[in-house]
Chains A and B, each alone.
Chain A
Amino acid sequence: MAAPILLVEDEPDDVYFLKRAFTSTSVTAPIVVLADGGAAIDYLAGTGAFSNRDEHPLPALMLLDLKLPGVTGFDVLAWLRAQPGLKRLPVIVLTSSSQDEDVRRAYDLGVNSYLVKPSGLKAIADVAQQIERYWLNMNRRPDIRDVR
């Protein structure tokens, strides 16, 4: 299975819109949706329900919401950047917060890009297209390996 795009998002409607937007691009990578930060860490670490790497391969890119129940996006980010093999994984924050404080904190934690969730089908389609164009095609991705 090809390296998927990890979408960490608890808002089902936003998941729906984004998945719909990606289908109109030529992105072939599967989109794996995780609804909370704990699951994201488990997935990246390959622990718990995600211990089989053949079924749950390491992602090419993570789209991360910040306001998640329990383990937040910031927590996921802080954990990820402390993992030697994984820390280079490109992460794009996709959140409804445009607060300067959140933007600063996310970049301090080493996020690669910060996007405010757009509204309206056209704007969401634009985001999907830009992510495909820049982050999946133009950008040279690092190799990442498992923590273990």
Chain B
Amino acid sequence: MHRYRYLVAAAAVMGAALARVAVDPLLGRDAPMLIFVLGVSIASVTGGLQSGILATLLSIPVALWLFIEPRYELLPTRSEDWVRIAVFLAEGLLIAFASGRIVQRKDALVKEVQHRTAELQASNDALERFAYTISHDLRAPLRSMRGFAEILDEDHSAALEPEARGYLARLIAASHRLEELVQNLLTYARLNHGSIPFEPVALRNVVEGALAQLEPEVRLSGARVIVDPPLDLVVIGHRDTLEMMVMNLVSNALKYVPRERVPEVAVAARRTGDVIRLSVRDNGIGVAPEAQARIFGAFERLHARDGYPGTGLGLAIVARGAERMNGRCGVTSEGSHGSEFWIELAAAPTENRHGSADPAR
């Protein structure tokens, strides 16, 4: 670093001397220091304070030797040349100090920004790790609670009074809810910071997987779920995340329905150019126009838990997932007759007939 500063100073002075030699036929004995001021400025701006001072001090003997009369002698004969040199010295030092300060401030600022960025990144990482660990550690006691509650229900139900059986059912339902929340938190955290590799994913498998996981809910609600037309489209995405997204959409479609109405859910997909749109239609309570943008944010809930239970993360996962897969999502809803939630993703390039890609995967 130090050697670099000396080099900058020496090069600037040498450049200035050469330039002065080049214009010597024009200037002659006038303005012997003129171009050296430029040299000092260049040295100061590129090398900072020390280069500037060094260039100033170096310029004086060079100018004395080469350009101030009598030439090839160090001591000038005219007293005005002493003034020239004194003024040059003052100018040079001033330039060096001024630009030195600027360079220093800039370096400090750059360092500060880097430091702050690193700090922010570290605390962000720590927070995400914390969220991940907490979600994981929550799972173990949750497994126990749910497991033993189910054993009570399965093996000892006959020994319980109806009231106690009711409490047990509530306990099991609560453990399901908590588990859903933890699962959603983990998925959401992962979507925000983890890597999700892309691959061709057959929509049929995604929808079948999601519906299989929701089988108890579908059965309980007596809902009619239609997948139409049969989905033989392949998108580019992350299988597990996509399944989670579809699960959340169908789960919402089952949930947000007036009590007296039997849920009807239609899952469909169609391709337009290179884009595939997967849509989930319901006959539920609909989404008011002013709420349509808001519902995709994390922990946004439009309804009290009493009416419609949920974690407030389902649609946030849909939105974040679509974004991570370079897709889009949205909702269209006209009043209280239901809504249609959709996800748009890139279609997988169609393989040639003998291609190795297996759409049934």
Chains A and B bind each other: yes
Interface residues of chain A, those whose CB is within 8 Å of chain B, are 11, 13-14, 16-17, 20, 96-100, 117, 119-121, 124
Cβ contact within 8 Å between B146 and A119: yes
B154 beta carbon closer than 8 Å to chain A: yes
The 9 A-B residue pairs whose C-beta atoms are closest, nearest first, are: A13-B144, A121-B150, A119-B143, A17-B147, A96-B139, A119-B146, A120-B146, A119-B179, A96-B136
Interface residues of B in 196-241 (CB under 8 A from A): none
Known: A100-B195, A119-B179. A13 touches B151 (CB 8 A): no
Offer 23 A-B interface pairs, CB within 8 angstroms, sorted by A: A11-B140, A13-B143, A13-B148, A14-B140, A14-B144, A16-B147, A96-B136, A96-B143, A97-B136, A98-B186, A100-B194, A117-B139, A119-B143, A119-B146, A119-B147, A119-B179, A120-B147, A120-B150, A121-B147, A121-B150, A121-B151, A121-B154, A124-B147
- Shortest C-beta distance, A46 to chain B (Å), equals 31
B142 beta carbon closer than 8 Å to chain A: yes
B132 beta carbon closer than 8 Å to chain A: yes
Specify which chain B residues have a CB less than 8 angstroms from the CB of A97 in the assembled complex.
136
- Shortest C-beta distance, B140 to chain A (Å), equals 6
- Shortest C-beta distance, B125 to chain A (Å), equals 13
- Complex-state Cα separation, A17 to B147, whole angstroms: 7
Cβ contact within 8 Å between B195 and A119: no
Best-buried of B136, B144, B147, B150 by chain A (most CB within 10 Å): B147
Cβ contact within 8 Å between B139 and A119: yes
Q: Which B-chain residue is minimally distant from A13 (CB atoms)?
A: B144
Interface residues of chain B, those whose CB is within 8 Å of chain A, are 132, 136, 139-140, 142-144, 146-148, 150-151, 154, 179, 186, 194-195
- Shortest C-beta distance, A130 to chain B (Å), equals 15
- Complex-state Cα separation, A117 to B136, whole angstroms: 11
Q: Beyond A120-B150, A124-B147: 14 further Cβ-contacts under 8 Å? A: A16-B147, A17-B143, A96-B136, A96-B139, A96-B143, A100-B194, A117-B143, A119-B139, A119-B147, A119-B179, A120-B146, A121-B147, A121-B151, A121-B154
- Shortest C-beta distance, B194 to chain A (Å), equals 7
- Shortest C-beta distance, B238 to chain A (Å), equals 12
Specify which chain A residues have a CB less than 8 angstroms from the CB of B148 in the assembled complex.
13
- Complex-state Cα separation, A100 to B189, whole angstroms: 13
Specify which chain B residues have a CB less than 8 angstroms from the CB of A124 in the assembled complex.
147
- Shortest C-beta distance, B169 to chain A (Å), equals 14
Specify which chain A residues have a CB less than 8 angstroms from the CB of B150 in the assembled complex.
120-121
Specify which chain B residues have a CB less than 8 angstroms from the CB of A16 in the assembled complex.
147
- Complex-state Cα separation, A126 to B195, whole angstroms: 29
Specify which chain B residues have a CB less than 8 angstroms from the CB of A20 in the assembled complex.
151
Specify which chain B residues have a CB less than 8 angstroms from the CB of A120 in the assembled complex.
146-147, 150
- Shortest C-beta distance, B288 to chain A (Å), equals 36
- Complex-state Cα separation, A121 to B144, whole angstroms: 10
- Complex-state Cα separation, A117 to B150, whole angstroms: 16
- Complex-state Cα separation, A99 to B143, whole angstroms: 18
- Complex-state Cα separation, A73 to B142, whole angstroms: 22
- Shortest C-beta distance, A108 to chain B (Å), equals 17
- Complex-state Cα separation, A124 to B194, whole angstroms: 28
- Shortest C-beta distance, A42 to chain B (Å), equals 25
Known: A96-B136, A97-B136, A99-B132. A14 touches B195 (CB 8 A): no
B142 interface neighbour in A11, A99, A119, Cβ under 8 Å: A119
- Complex-state Cα separation, A100 to B144, whole angstroms: 24
Known: A98-B186, A99-B132, A100-B195. A14 touches B151 (CB 8 A): no
- Shortest C-beta distance, A61 to chain B (Å), equals 22
Specify which chain A residues have a CB less than 8 angstroms from the CB of B142 in the assembled complex.
119
- Complex-state Cα separation, A32 to B132, whole angstroms: 31
Cβ contact within 8 Å between A13 and B147: yes
